[in-house]
Amino acid sequence: MVEVRIVEVRMVEVRMVAARIVEARIVEARIVEARIVEARIVEARIVEARIVEARIVEARIVEARIVEARIVEARIVEARIVEARIVEARIVEARIVEAQIVEAQIVEARVEKVQIVDAQIVEARALKARIVEAQMVEVQALKAEEVQVEAEEVQVEAEEVQVEAEEVQVEAEEVQVEAEEVQVEAEEVQVEAEEVQVEAEEVQVEVEEVQVEVEEVQVEAKEVQVEVEEVQVQLVEVHLLVKRIKSLNRWTLLMTVKRQNKTWMVSLKRRLLLISASNGFSQPTQLRMYNYADATVFEYFLACFPSNLVDEICILMMQKGREQRKGCPFTVTKGDFWLFMGYLLYILCHPMDLPIQDYWEGPLSTKYENCSACVKHDIGKFGLSYGRFRRLMQAFTLPQYPAIEGKNDPFCFIRRFVDEWNVAMQHCISPGKFLVVDESMGQWLGKGMPGLMYVARKPTPNGREGHTTADAETGCIIFYEVYEGKILMAEKEHVNELGAGTAIALRLTAPWVHSGRIVILDSGFASLKTAIALAEVGLYMIGNVKTAHSGFPKKWLNSQVSQRGDRACATHSFTMHGRQMDVLAAIDKDKQPMSLIGTAGTTSMGTTLERHFTVRHSSGKWQTRTATLEQWHIHELYRANFNAIDKHNSKRQGATSFEDTWKTHSWWVRDYQILFGMSEVNAFLLWNKFKPSHAMSMTQFRLQLCHQMLTNQWIQEEREAACRKVIPCDEEEDTDTVHELVHCDRGHCRMCGVVTRWRCACTPQSGTASGRKRNDASAMFLCPASKRRCLILHIKGVKPQNLKQQSRPEMVE
């Protein structure tokens, strides 16, 4: 014990010496800083004085130039006034001469006509003409005198302006003299500044000498520090010896684990480590949809879909359809597009192991009379024949960005739609506190897809891999990035500086940087490098570390857990933007150990888990047992949110998916199907989240969405414009007869042959037939398509054609 006290006394003395040395250095450093500040203040004042002088000179020069410009303008104005008055005088003279000539001509004409008149009348008229000439001469003389007077007045004004210009010139000379005086003063200030500069150099020399002294003191301090460390080592050894003697089991014992120059402080007992996002994001998910409480299922879907591209898609489909049909009319409206999507959803909601055209076989068909498992759907009643459905499917295309010359983009077919989809989701949802980053797969068994991936652990291992970001509170995927292959992904942002995994995490969370949200990462993206990179952009992180464990004490953590329920943790500190950040490494042993790294969460105890497992006895019987597992708060946060994207994918790729319904050989159509399915699941999740009183299952939601697409407002407006419009007959017919389309049983249009459920009101109800009499001449079935002219042809009295020979009428463009 005496030796311990001696060591402690020495430690106190050493610390006092070190404190005095530090105080002396601080005083010296403050003196040096004060001198440097004084020198900088003097330099700043000199610079300010020079700037002020230069501005004064510039202002005076500008004033002189303005005065000169005004003088020139005044002279130009005077000259223009004189010229204008001279021109006016000349115009007046020319008009007088013209008037005299005209009058003379008139007089001569009159003289010639009245030669028969006696001489007295001639003399009188001649006398009158002379009098008029005299008056005109007098008027001309008066006008000339007025012009002369005005010219004299203008000359006087010009002389006055000249005098003012001379006065301004005198003022400019005075300003020039003042500028010379200011220049002399500036030279004097320059001399003073040079003197101050010399003094500053002397101060700099003194500062350098002080710096040398400080370096010497630092060397001495390092030597003292080495001695202090040696004493500390001895003191630690003494303390350990004392603890062993007294058998003290204190939980505050700490050790260091070094891993690639990273020092982690490790707790061997249950030491509470708090790593929390105290200044982080805390608002719940917000839906940026207008009046979402009263919105329909279809409106929720439109909010999650890039609806601004639908009109452009319709135009491109029309162009492609006309090319495929060699210039034949082909029209696609917004209502037709959503009707087409509704048909695909109907087929998805009612899967049938039969050809797709069998969905158009209705109750009139006897094809499957003996098949009790087959349901006769007759979806042609919604207004889309199987032939047009096939043509719409063949003409489907997506808008693209303009091509860049010299650049071949293999993903040009889908890139713009993906970008617009991401923008639509960001406008629709403001995510909550937790963001989840993971991969999603879309099945593809065809050929030609760039960036094709095979991931054996996925439910659909072969197909398109997409990197996605989800809002953990609602489960909605709000950002999607297509995997473009190893070569193109290496050219993406942040890859060269930070590596692939960290770069993907930064790109997928870019719209929410500096928001303080917590990012939940899969093992493909989580690492110490990712945690630091996200902290730099204002985001916290919790991630599962498996393979990317550079700088992470994984080996030590695994050595601390051996059975279910064991836990261990460590911390690493670093400075970020002037404040200290802590990274927590924690491991929790369940069936398998789970190693987490995070800048959020704590090691306080979270909720208790229940695990159910079966055990087989020696008798051969199986027994179910239940075990409770305590977990830390950081593990609770991770386990509560990490599978949000997996749940989303399971809803999108359930027993049947959009990819199974719409079979295609175009890989970019499959990408569209993936995003369409994501929009559908997002709308379903938002519906149940923000309208809990109307919550429904995925199947019910899909059926309602299908029905609202089949009866969308645009197709209804088009049908009302074409089919519900009452058109009177020609004058030859009875004026009381009105042609109007009414709903009836199924039959063939008398003008184009399309299967329809509409007839003209001019035919009796008895004419509506079933099956065998559907083409009865007494029933005037007409096509309800908005762009056909079947009703107009019927009203004009066109005789119905033979359905087997006639061709369909033109589409109205």
What are 518-574's pLDDT values in tens digits?
Answer: 999 988 889 888 998 998 898 999 999 988 888 888 888 888 888 888 888 888 877
Q: Are 756 and 749 in contact (CB under 8 A)?
A: yes
Give alpha helix (H) positions in 355-493.
386-395, 412-428, 486-489
- The C-alpha atoms of residue 781 and residue 110 are separated, in whole angstroms, by 90
Mean pLDDT for the chain overall: 77
- The C-alpha atoms of residue 9 and residue 15 are separated, in whole angstroms, by 10
pLDDT at 267 (0 to 100): 40
pLDDT at 571 (0 to 100): 83
Q: Is the dihedral of CA 722, 723, 726, 727 positive or negative?
A: positive
Cα angle 205-206-212, degrees, rounded to a multiple of 5: 90
pLDDT at 808 (0 to 100): 41
- The C-alpha atoms of residue 114 and residue 122 are separated, in whole angstroms, by 8
Q: Are 200 and 99 in contact (CB under 8 A)?
A: no
User: Which residues are CB-neighbours of 806 under 8 A, at least 6 positions away?
Assistant: 751, 752, 753
Range name among 46-55, 114-123, 477-486 with the lowest pLDDT average: 114-123
Segment 18-23 mean pLDDT: 84
pLDDT at 166 (0 to 100): 76
pLDDT at 406 (0 to 100): 75
Q: Which of 679, 634, 597, 754 is nearest to 262 (CA)?
A: 597
Question: What is the three-class DSSP state of 748?
Answer: strand
pTM for this prediction: 0.59
Q: Is the dihedral of CA 769, 771, 775, 776 positive or negative?
A: negative
- The structure tokens 């001649």 sit at 126
pLDDT at 258 (0 to 100): 35
Instruction: Return the percentage of the chain with pLDDT > 70, whole number.
Output: 77
Q: Are 234 and 7 in contact (CB under 8 A)?
A: yes
pLDDT at 810 (0 to 100): 39
709: left (phi over 0), alpha (psi -120 to 50) or beta: alpha
pLDDT at 338 (0 to 100): 94
Question: How does pLDDT run across 42-77, given as a tens digit for each residue?
Answer: 888 888 878 877 788 777 787 778 877 777 777 787
pLDDT at 39 (0 to 100): 80
Query: pLDDT category, 250, cuts 50, 70, 90?
Result: very low
Q: Which of 316, 336, 334, 335 is nearest to 324 (CA)?
A: 316
pLDDT at 481 (0 to 100): 94
pLDDT at 280 (0 to 100): 58
- The C-alpha atoms of residue 795 and residue 811 are separated, in whole angstroms, by 17
Burial of 780 (0-12, 13-18, 19+ CB in 10 A): buried
Q: How many CB atoms lie within 10 A of CB 2?
A: 6
Element (H, E) at 76: helix 2-113
Burial of 549 (0-12, 13-18, 19+ CB in 10 A): buried
Segment 293-314 mean pLDDT: 93
Range name among 161-165, 647-651, 689-693 with the lowest pLDDT average: 161-165
- The C-alpha atoms of residue 205 and residue 220 are separated, in whole angstroms, by 23
pLDDT at 301 (0 to 100): 95
Q: Are 483 and 698 in contact (CB under 8 A)?
A: no
Query: pLDDT category, 36, cuts 50, 70, 90?
Result: confident
**Is the pLDDT score of 289 beyond 60?**
yes
Question: Strands (DSSP E) along 647-731, which ranges?
Answer: 727-728
- The C-alpha atoms of residue 779 and residue 413 are separated, in whole angstroms, by 48
Query: Which of 244-248, 489-493, 775-779 holds the top average pLDDT?
Result: 489-493
pLDDT at 67 (0 to 100): 75
- The C-alpha atoms of residue 292 and residue 691 are separated, in whole angstroms, by 8
Q: How many CB atoms lie within 10 A of CB 721?
A: 10
pLDDT at 272 (0 to 100): 39
- The C-alpha atoms of residue 364 and residue 376 are separated, in whole angstroms, by 9
- The C-alpha atoms of residue 87 and residue 155 are separated, in whole angstroms, by 16
Q: How many Å separate Cα 553 from the centre of its chain? A: 39
Question: What is the three-class DSSP state of 796?
Answer: coil
pLDDT at 261 (0 to 100): 36
pLDDT at 444 (0 to 100): 85
**Is the pLDDT score of 114 beyond 60?**
no
Question: What is the three-class DSSP state of 259?
Answer: strand
pLDDT at 505 (0 to 100): 93
Cα angle 16-20-22, degrees, rounded to a multiple of 5: 115
**Is the pLDDT score of 191 beyond 90?**
no
Range name among 45-59, 205-219, 536-550, 659-673 with the lowest pLDDT average: 205-219
Question: How does pLDDT run across 737-785, given as a tens digit for each residue?
Answer: 566 677 677 777 777 777 777 777 777 654 443 333 444 556 677 776 5
Q: How many Å separate Cα 561 from the centre of its chain? A: 45
User: What are the structure tokens assigned to 212, written together?
Assistant: 């040398």
Bridge partners (DSSP) of residue 463 are 443, 453
SS3 string of 381-392? Answer: HHCCCHHHHHHH
User: What are the structure tokens assigned to 448, written together?
Assistant: 């030609």
Segment 338-347 mean pLDDT: 92
Range name among 34-48, 131-145, 466-480 with the lowest pLDDT average: 131-145
**Is the pLDDT score of 506 beyond 90?**
yes
Question: How does pLDDT run across 77-107, given as a tens digit for each residue?
Answer: 777 777 777 777 777 777 777 777 777 777 6
Indicate the Cα dihedral angle 124, 128, 130, 131, nearest 10°.
140
Query: pLDDT category, 213, cuts 50, 70, 90?
Result: confident
pLDDT at 274 (0 to 100): 41
- The C-alpha atoms of residue 81 and residue 582 are separated, in whole angstroms, by 84
Give alpha helix (H) positions in 250-380.
297-303, 310-324, 334-349
DSSP state of 549: -
pLDDT at 111 (0 to 100): 59
SS3 string of 211-243? Answer: HHHHHHHHHHHHHHHHHHHHHHHHHHHHHHHHH
pLDDT at 657 (0 to 100): 77
User: What are the structure tokens assigned to 747, written together?
Assistant: 């039959």
pLDDT at 264 (0 to 100): 53
Question: What is the three-class DSSP state of 730?
Answer: coil
User: Which residues are CB-neighbours of 414 under 8 A, at least 6 positions away?
Assistant: 398, 482, 668, 671, 672
- The C-alpha atoms of residue 782 and residue 725 are separated, in whole angstroms, by 14
Question: What is the three-class DSSP state of 264?
Answer: strand
**545 or 371, which is more confident?**
545
**Is the pLDDT score of 129 beyond 60?**
yes
- The C-alpha atoms of residue 234 and residue 14 are separated, in whole angstroms, by 14
- The C-alpha atoms of residue 738 and residue 435 are separated, in whole angstroms, by 62
- The C-alpha atoms of residue 185 and residue 182 are separated, in whole angstroms, by 5
- The C-alpha atoms of residue 361 and residue 768 are separated, in whole angstroms, by 19
Q: Are 540 and 519 in contact (CB under 8 A)?
A: yes
pLDDT at 41 (0 to 100): 85
pLDDT at 1 (0 to 100): 60
User: Which residues are CB-neighbours of 491 under 8 A, at least 6 positions away?
Assistant: none
End-to-end CA distance of the chain: 105
Question: How does pLDDT run across 379-402, given as a tens digit for each residue?
Answer: 877 888 888 899 999 999 999 998
- The C-alpha atoms of residue 356 and residue 773 are separated, in whole angstroms, by 27
